Amino acid sequence: MAGFVRSRVTIAIVVFIVGMSVAAGIAWAAIPNSVTGQITACYPTSGASKGVLRVIDAQAGETCGAGNATISWQKNGLRWKGAWSAVTVYSANDVVTFGRTRQAFVATTGNTAKRPSDSGAWKVLGGGTGMTPTQIGMLRWDQDPTRPATVNVGSMPQGAAFDGASIWIANSSSDTVSKINPATSTVSATVPVGTDPISLAFDGSYVWVTNFNSSNVSKIDPISNTVVATVSTGATSGPVGVAFDGTYIWVANWISGTLSKINRTTNMVVGTVAVGGTPELAAFDGTSLWVTNSTNGVAKVNPVTNSVITTVPVGSASGGVAFDGEAVWVSGFFANTVWKIDPVTNSVAATVSVGAYPGYVTFDGTYLWVANRNDDTVSKIDAVTGTVVTTITTASGPWAIAFDGADMWVTNSTASTVSKMRA
């Protein structure tokens, strides 16, 4: 099997603070307020720095000054949710990007399908022209970039996912799933599942993991850390990838060449889509499912009619897949390439060379991250320019990547570890 899958986050802030001492880009001050937990920041209302946040120590009496507006939030309030989706239910203080410029918005109330705008249920984060995704990525008040982490998990970890609080890792040779506390970088629970767990997805309430050699999917309660249901995807189906479309769980069955559509409430398979070949992983773009294949092109599937809309040919077998809010990104593990697919024209818009045998692809709101299994590296790609901006060496056999809103978590299948790296 070529086999390859894939976040509530306290957004934190690494910025320069007026009047406070700064060490290595980290402000060691009473931020957030030690009593109220509130973080206060200023942003210029005009000029070249319009809308750019600067955190201040309001508890010590620091103020924003003339020409600046003030914004504040609770330390546990802002939650990074990635690109806005019409099918996602949002809560107050959820942060999304929206539109071709990927401007950042914060939800002011709970809402469902309202499109972000600088009024009503959404507010431009930072005021003025808002913040860019790069600026959002700098919001890490409690992070120390000099201290990454390596976490020991089960044998041959593969898939990774974030449930808003914890990182979940599928340990394929241990038949377990590890739950990692991202704040302490420690394993907080180990959950036995089926045989050869590969990939994971979070549906807002439960964690779903595919078990390749059991031909089923385990549904895990992330609070009790127990399997609450096991769903068969058919005898010798070989489930690999799993994705959530806002309503249903979708599973890519490598052996049977199908997709299984699972009702997450009844835990029943309610549809099967023949995609052919050996489907690997799946991602949802808000309208369609995209399914990679190790023997043919990338299938675009209508999740309502349960049918293949089209198959996009790519230069080699496809593996990892992610949606950045505008384009679908697919890795070709034999071609050492990542393709950018236009979901409107259903054609390849760009080709990016990466490391050897690229697998899972993950989007962090600004960049695509690709695990290159055979040269022990991770490629970071600018989603706008389609260029590799950095290549990071990790432990042996990087397989999958998950983003927790601040950091990237990379499974190292050969080393049986997970690397935490700063985004």
Output Rg (C-alpha) for the chain, integer angstroms.
Answer: 21
CB 133 within 8 A of CB 104: yes
Phi-psi region of 280 (alpha: psi -120 to 50; beta: other; left: phi over 0): alpha
Specify the pLDDT at position 106.
79
CA distance 75 to 33: 9
User: Does 138 score more than 60 pLDDT?
Assistant: no
CA distance 267 to 304: 18
Q: What is the pLDDT of residues 109-130, one digit of tens each?
A: 776 567 887 667 787 765 544 5
> Of 57-66, 78-87, 174-183, where does the model show the most confidence?
174-183
User: Does 8 score more than 70 pLDDT?
Assistant: no
Specify the pLDDT at position 76.
56
Question: What residue ranges of the chain are covered by domains with CATH 2.130.10.10?
Answer: 149-422
What percentage of the chain exceeds 90 in pLDDT? 57
- pLDDT level of residue 29 (50, 70, 90 thresholds): very low
Helix (H, G, I), strand (E, B) or coil at 58: helix
CB atoms within 10 A of CB 182: 22
User: Does 423 score more than 80 pLDDT?
Assistant: no
Over residues 162-182, mean pLDDT:
96
Specify the pLDDT at position 111.
65
User: Does 137 score more than 60 pLDDT?
Assistant: no
For the chain, the average pLDDT equals 83
| Burial class of residue 299, CB neighbours in 10 A (0-12, 13-18, 19+) | buried
Specify the pLDDT at position 140.
41
Over residues 293-307, mean pLDDT:
94
Which run of H or of E encompasses 268?
Answer: strand 268-274
Helix (H, G, I), strand (E, B) or coil at 135: helix
CB atoms within 10 A of CB 268: 12
CB 362 within 8 A of CB 323: no
The pTM score is 0.68
Specify the pLDDT at position 248.
97
What percentage of the chain exceeds 70 in pLDDT? 82
Q: What is the pLDDT of residues 342-383, one digit of tens each?
A: 999 999 999 999 999 999 999 999 999 999 999 999 999 999
Of 26-30, 101-105, 108-112, 188-192, give the lowest mean pLDDT range.
26-30
User: Does 307 score more than 80 pLDDT?
Assistant: yes
User: Does 385 score more than 80 pLDDT?
Assistant: yes
Specify the pLDDT at position 315.
77
User: Does 148 score more than 60 pLDDT?
Assistant: yes
Binning the chain into helix, strand and coil, the percentages to the nearest 5 are: 5, 50, 50
Specify the pLDDT at position 101.
64
CATH architecture of 149-422: 7 Propeller (2.130)
Specify the pLDDT at position 6.
28
CA distance 32 to 10: 12
User: Does 221 score more than 50 pLDDT?
Assistant: yes
CA distance 171 to 158: 6
Q: What is the pLDDT of residues 60-76, one digit of tens each?
A: 788 888 888 887 766 55
The distance between the two most distant Cα atoms of the chain, rounded to a whole number of Å, is 69
Query: What residues form DSSP beta bridges with 339?
Result: 330, 351
